[in-house]
């Protein structure tokens, strides 16, 4: 796809926002890794998003929704089709009260920590255990983000989604099919906003829990490094980081990708890492855990894109 074709898309679908051609995904992921996307679009509003969505569907152009790029590894060949970034959609609005509960309407592009901080300031309980988790609300819902016994599904009432056919529908949380670090939301579904239900609590108590959780996370995770969070899911009853550490993988590296010496389930980009080396290190670590403990680690990070631009 050429720059002229991108300009034609902007004109044909009356796109409002920012659209780029062959945009490096390394600029838009927390790992700072990733080849170019054919199209990188940031719609200004939901109407523009809808028109772009219709155009992409009619012209059989693949789309990939992106929040903050915090739990994904984009391959070195980049992403075919269009990446749609939701960074313009970040409203948090009150949506009513019901006795001891308060409801919020939250756009999917809202940074998750902004929701956590808003709840802390208001004295709303339910998401303080998500303190320190990067990414957006949409990404958190898609992957059922959680920590310290909290999961985003536990406070979710419903979501508004745009399906492959372009129709917006409200889906109840119980119909989404949540599991451990996953949901039933399809790659072709665009999550627009969510309704969140939080319990009213004392502001100082919510704040104290938040501070304790954040302190614990800072002590045990390299949250200041370029990473994508946990690379592997925890097998039932076992921390993946502990297994990786005990298999002798802490500090292991391939190229500029290294297993963190702080938390072994975090892989760090030490400067000029590439996706191919990241994947090789994943295979090496998983292999050592398998041979040592007979346990197969399942990736938590989502790997997307094409190898060397060839699909």
Ordered by start, the domain boundaries in the chain are: 3-85, 92-220, 240-304
Candidates 3.40.50.670, 2.40.420.20, 3.40.140.10, 3.90.78.10; correct CATH number of 240-304?
A: 3.90.78.10
Of residues 230, 249, 274, 288, which has the active-site annotation?
Answer: 230
Q: For the domain bounded by 92-220, which CATH number is listed?
A: 3.30.465.10
Q: For the domain bounded by 3-85, which CATH number is listed?
A: 3.30.43.10
Provide the residue-wise pLDDT of the chain in tens; the chain has 311 residues: 666 777 788 888 889 999 999 999 999 999 999 999 999 999 999 999 999 999 999 999 999 999 899 999 999 999 999 999 999 999 999 999 999 999 999 999 999 999 999 999 999 999 999 998 989 999 999 999 999 999 999 999 999 999 888 889 999 999 999 998 899 998 889 999 999 999 999 999 999 999 999 999 888 888 788 999 899 999 988 999 999 999 999 999 999 999 999 999 999 999 999 999 999 999 999 999 999 999 999 999 999 999 874 44
Indicate if 240-304 has the same CATH topology as 3-85.
no
pTM of whole model > 0.85?
yes
Of residues 120, 181, 193, 288, which has the active-site annotation?
Answer: 181
The question of whether 114 is a catalytic residue gets the answer no
Residue 125 confidence (pLDDT): 97
Residue 1 confidence (pLDDT): 65
Residue 11 confidence (pLDDT): 86
Q: What angle do CA 206, 210, 215 make, to 5 degrees?
A: 150
- Could you give the count of Cα atoms lying within 13 Å of 232 in the half-sphere of its Cβ? 30
From the number of C-beta atoms within 10 Å of its C-beta (0-12, 13-18, 19+), residue 99 rates as exposed
Q: How many other C-beta atoms lie within 10 A of the C-beta of residue 45?
A: 11
The question of whether 225 is a catalytic residue gets the answer no
* C-beta contacts of 283-292 below 8 A and 24+ residues apart: 284/249, 284/252, 284/254, 285/231, 285/232, 285/244, 285/247, 285/249, 285/252, 285/259, 286/232, 288/244, 288/247, 288/248, 288/249, 289/243, 289/244, 289/247, 289/249, 292/243, 292/246, 292/247, 292/248
Residue 8 confidence (pLDDT): 81
Q: What are phi and psi of 221, to 5 degrees?
A: -130, 145
The question of whether 298 is a catalytic residue gets the answer no
Residue 310 confidence (pLDDT): 44
Residue 311 confidence (pLDDT): 41
Residue 145 confidence (pLDDT): 92
Q: Are 237 and 250 in contact (CB under 8 A)?
A: no
């Amino acid at each position: 796809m050429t720059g002229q074709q991108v300009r034609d898309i902007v004109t044909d679908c009356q796109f409002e926002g920012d659209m780029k051609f062959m945009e490096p995904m390394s600029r838009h992921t927390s790992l700072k890794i990733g080849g170019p996307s054919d199209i990188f679009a940031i719609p200004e509003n939901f109407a523009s998003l809808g028109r772009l969505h219709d155009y992409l569907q009619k012209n059989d152009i693949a789309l990939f929704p992106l929040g903050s790029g915090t739990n994904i590894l984009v391959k070195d060949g980049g992403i075919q089709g269009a990446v749609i970034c939701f960074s313009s959609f970040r409203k948090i609005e009150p949506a009513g009260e019901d006795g001891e509960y308060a409801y919020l309407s939250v756009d999917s592009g809202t940074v998750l920590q902004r929701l956590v901080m808003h709840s802390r300031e208001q004295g709303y309980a339910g998401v303080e255990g998500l303190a320190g988790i990067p990414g957006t609300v949409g990404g958190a819902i898609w992957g059922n983000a959680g920590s310290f016994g909290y999961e985003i599904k536990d406070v979710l009432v419903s979501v508004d989604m745009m399906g492959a056919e372009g129709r917006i529908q409200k889906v109840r949380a119980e119909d989404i099919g949540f599991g451990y670090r996953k949901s039933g939301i399809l790659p072709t579904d665009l999550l627009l906003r969510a309704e969140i239900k939080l319990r009213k609590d004392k502001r100082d108590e919510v704040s104290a829990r938040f501070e304790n959780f954040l302190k614990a996370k800072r002590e045990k995770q390299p949250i200041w490094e370029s990473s994508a969070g946990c690379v592997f899911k925890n097998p039932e009853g076992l921390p993946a980081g502990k297994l990786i550490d005990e298999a002798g993988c802490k500090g292991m590296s391939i190229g500029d990708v290294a297993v963190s010496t702080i938390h072994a389930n975090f892989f760090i980009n030490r400067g000029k890492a590439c996706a191919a080396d990241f994947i090789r290190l994943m295979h090496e670590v998983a292999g050592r855990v398998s041979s040592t403990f007979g346990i197969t680690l399942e990736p938590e990070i989502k790997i997307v894109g094409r190898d060397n631009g060839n699909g």
